[in-house]
């Protein structure tokens, strides 16, 4: 332990209460007392040990203070709850719009857009590669007309939107910007996040289009343009979620996600951006799995490692540049297709892990997602799970309720050490791109997934209702099915747009985009211009395919 004079908890708590970072509580005077009543008991706003020394400040510290182990905001959910953001999208834009407006009516505080597979890999709905996949796992977006329909009667200056799109992220972001323009909302008023994390696609998810180098160039284009034009928008959501879904351990999820983050930051710096100009708009996306305490420790460890990386390696000066802000989603891979009501319990535990771990926004999966897209009633139950945690559980009454738990802190240290060792291995092997190309990261994840599955098959790991506590007969549940006629309707809609637009203008805009791509200019403005002319996603991506080529695993 460091030799120093301990400070009393009373002094520290008084200083913390008076700190300017706690000013956000002034909007909620009823929650600004040192203690609040919950269930007849006094609950401290911030729990602290009896004495505080330098070691405590270095490894735990205060919420809202470096190294952010205890959270990125000093008041966390006492000031406001996390954003309750339900991931949704299916069929056509008009059908998805109905689901979004239903979710908003039910209390969702942010939208999260799921795109269908053709959209995710840059194909139009009438492309031969799209056959049988249109509107199945998300909403089909071909042109600006679809994006306009998607946000009908949804004011983009009042809602935060997250878009799970990666390789063609620059095109979907351009469409979002132009839809906002048509609503009279300037880009600098838009709030939300675009996933835009292509590196994890090569090792965990597979919806890549271009090779890593030009893909990193497109991401940097977005950083550059948005840092000047969209200051409230998160330009990337560096994603560990899909790494965990592919079978990684908690430590691997942290390590490979942060290694990707290092790569994005270094790429932006190499392009001439200043660290404190863009770093505050970086966001992260993690999986919330079923091992409650391990997941909580994982989130704490990730925040602490990232804060040190940004401060010590990249020499960030602004606190906002060192804060890891993250969205969490409950683990889709944990959902079972048998006894599906058990999934409600799994999701509740996972959501608790995310909240106790300090997430900034959360999506809770629905009970039936192992079988189909969720029904309206299932997605309502998933949303209600978050609302019950927020309003009835009491865990939002005090900041970071599990800090100081011997087991939580031991787990945090253990995950931190294992993750840092893996990050060092990636660095020593030439960095993330080199490890993608030689398969190192993918092999690590696949081995972890294999080991996990062996435990299930041997019975060493119990999955309730799957390899233990099984039943002979199950009641059939109502499932959502996408009508195959959706594909025909979407193709007809796309062809109608092509027939009505000014095709000479479209070709002019696509030619300008080709010239910009060949000259290595920032492509945001040329793509926005092409989108305004109703050039399709596939047409724009095909121009870029012609210049950048396509990645083959």
Whether the per-residue pLDDT at 35 is higher than 80: the answer is no
Q: Give the domain CATH number at 108.
A: 3.20.20.240
Residues 307 and 429 in one domain: yes
Whether the per-residue pLDDT at 60 is higher than 60: the answer is yes
Listed residue (343, 353, 348) closest to 292, CA to CA: 353
pLDDT given at position 299: 98
Per-residue pLDDT of 318-375, as tens digits, reads 999 999 999 999 999 999 999 999 999 999 999 999 999 999 999 999 999 999 889 9
Residues 167 and 272 in one domain: yes
pLDDT given at position 51: 72
Provide the residue range defining the domain that includes 30: 7-59
Residue with tokens 């460890």: 301
Residues 42 and 101 in one domain: no
Residues with Cβ < 8 Å from 154, sequence gap 6 or more?
Answer: 97, 100, 101, 104, 111
Tokens of 110: 């942010």
The verdict on residue 381 lying in a domain is no
Residues 356 and 287 in one domain: yes
Whether the per-residue pLDDT at 457 is higher than 80: the answer is yes
pLDDT given at position 47: 77
The verdict on residue 228 lying in a domain is yes
pLDDT given at position 72: 95
Residues 104 and 55 in one domain: no
Residues 48 and 95 in one domain: no
The verdict on residue 374 lying in a domain is no
pLDDT given at position 39: 55
Q: Which of 13-17, 221-225, 295-299, 437-441 has the lowest mean pLDDT?
A: 13-17
Mean pLDDT, residues 83-99: 92
Radius of gyration of the chain (CA): 24
Total domains in the fold of the chain: 2
* Cis ω before 67 (30° cut-off from 0): yes
Residues 291 and 440 in one domain: yes
CA dihedral sign, ordered 446, 248, 197, 443:
negative
Per-residue pLDDT of 109-158, as tens digits, reads 889 999 999 999 999 999 999 999 999 999 999 999 999 999 999 999 99
Task: Give alpha helix (H) positions in 336-437.
Answer: 342-356, 376-392, 406-428, 432-437
- Domain termination residue (choose one: 419, 442, 458): 458
Listed residue (144, 211, 163, 176) closest to 544, CA to CA: 211
Residues 359 and 232 in one domain: yes
| pTM for the structure as a whole | 0.90
- In the beta sheet, which residues pair with residue 52? 7
**Phi, psi angles (nearest 5°) of residue 112:** -135, 115
pLDDT given at position 24: 42
The verdict on residue 1 lying in a domain is no
Residues 40 and 129 in one domain: no
pLDDT given at position 478: 84
Mean pLDDT, residues 85-93: 89
Residues 281 and 423 in one domain: yes
Residues 111 and 52 in one domain: no
Residues 20 and 154 in one domain: no
pLDDT given at position 46: 79
Tokens of 242: 């899909």
Parallel, antiparallel or unpaired: strands 110-114 and 41-44:
unpaired
- In the beta sheet, which residues pair with residue 286? 328
Tokens of 137: 């796992």
Residue bearing the bigger pLDDT, 4 or 138: 138
Q: Please, what is the angle between helix 169-183 and helix 537-548, to 10°? A: 140
pLDDT given at position 25: 43
């Amino acid at each position: 332990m460091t030799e120093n004079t301990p400070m009393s908890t009373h002094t520290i708590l008084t200083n913390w209460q008076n700190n300017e970072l706690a000013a956000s509580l002034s909007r909620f005077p009823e929650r600004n007392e040192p203690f609040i009543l919950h269930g007849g008991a006094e609950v401290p706003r911030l729990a602290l040990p009896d004495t505080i020394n330098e070691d405590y400040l270095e490894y735990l510290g205060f919420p809202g203070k470096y190294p952010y182990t205890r959270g990125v905001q000093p008041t966390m959910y006492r000031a406001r709850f996390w954003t309750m953001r339900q991931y949704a999208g299916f069929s056509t834009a008009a059908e998805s719009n109905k689901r979004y407006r239903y979710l908003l009516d039910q209390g969702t505080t942010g939208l999260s857009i799921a795109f269908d597979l053709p959209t995710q890999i840059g194909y139009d709905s009438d492309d031969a590669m799209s056959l049988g996949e249109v509107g199945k796992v998300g909403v089909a977006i071909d042109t600006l007309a679809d994006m306009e329909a998607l946000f009908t009667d949804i004011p983009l200056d009042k809602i935060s939107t997250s878009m799970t799109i990666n390789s063609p992220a620059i095109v979907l972001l351009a469409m979002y910007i132009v839809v906002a323009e048509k609503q009279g909302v300037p880009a600098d008023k838009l709030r939300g996040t675009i996933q835009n994390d292509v590196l994890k696609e090569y090792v965990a998810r597979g919806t890549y289009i271009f090779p890593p180098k030009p893909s990193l160039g497109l991401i940097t284009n977005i950083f550059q343009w948005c840092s000047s034009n969209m200051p409230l928008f998160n330009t990337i959501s560096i994603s560990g979620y899909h790494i965990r879904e592919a079978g990684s351990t908690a430590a691997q999820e942290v390590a490979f996600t942060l290694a990707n983050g290092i790569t994005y930051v270094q790429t932006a710096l190499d392009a001439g951006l200043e660290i404190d100009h863009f770093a505050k708009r970086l966001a992260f996306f993690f999986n919330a799995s079923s091992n409650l305490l391990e997941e909580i420790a994982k989130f704490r460890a990730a925040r602490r490692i990232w804060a040190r990386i940004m401060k010590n390696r990249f020499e960030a000066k602004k606190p906002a540049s060192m804060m890891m802000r993250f969205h969490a989603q409950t683990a889709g891979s944990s959902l079972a297709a048998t006894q599906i009501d058990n999934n409600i319990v799994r999701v509740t535990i996972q959501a608790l892990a995310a909240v106790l771990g300090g997430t900034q926004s959360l999506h809770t999966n629905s009970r039936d997602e192992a079988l189909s897209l969720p029904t309206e009633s299932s997605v309502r139950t998933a949303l209600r799970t978050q609302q019950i945690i927020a309003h009835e559980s009491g865990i939002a009454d005090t900041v970071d309720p599990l800090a100081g738990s011997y087991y939580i802190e031991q787990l945090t240290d253990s995950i931190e050490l294992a993750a840092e060792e893996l990050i060092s291995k990636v660095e020593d092997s030439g960095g993330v791109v080199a490890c993608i190309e030689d398969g190192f990261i993918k092999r690590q994840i696949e081995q972890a997934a294999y080991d996990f599955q062996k435990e299930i098959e041997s019975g060493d790991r119990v999955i309730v209702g799957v390899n233990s506590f099984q039943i002979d007969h199950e009641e059939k549940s109502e499932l959502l099915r996408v009508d195959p006629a959706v594909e025909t309707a979407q193709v007809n809609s796309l062809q109608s747009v092509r027939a009505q637009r000014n095709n000479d203008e479209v070709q002019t805009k696509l030619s300008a985009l080709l010239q910009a791509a060949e000259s290595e200019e920032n492509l945001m403005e040329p793509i926005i211009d092409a989108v305004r002319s109703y050039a399709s996603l596939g047409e724009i991506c095909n121009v870029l395919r012609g210049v950048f080529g396509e990645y083959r695993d």
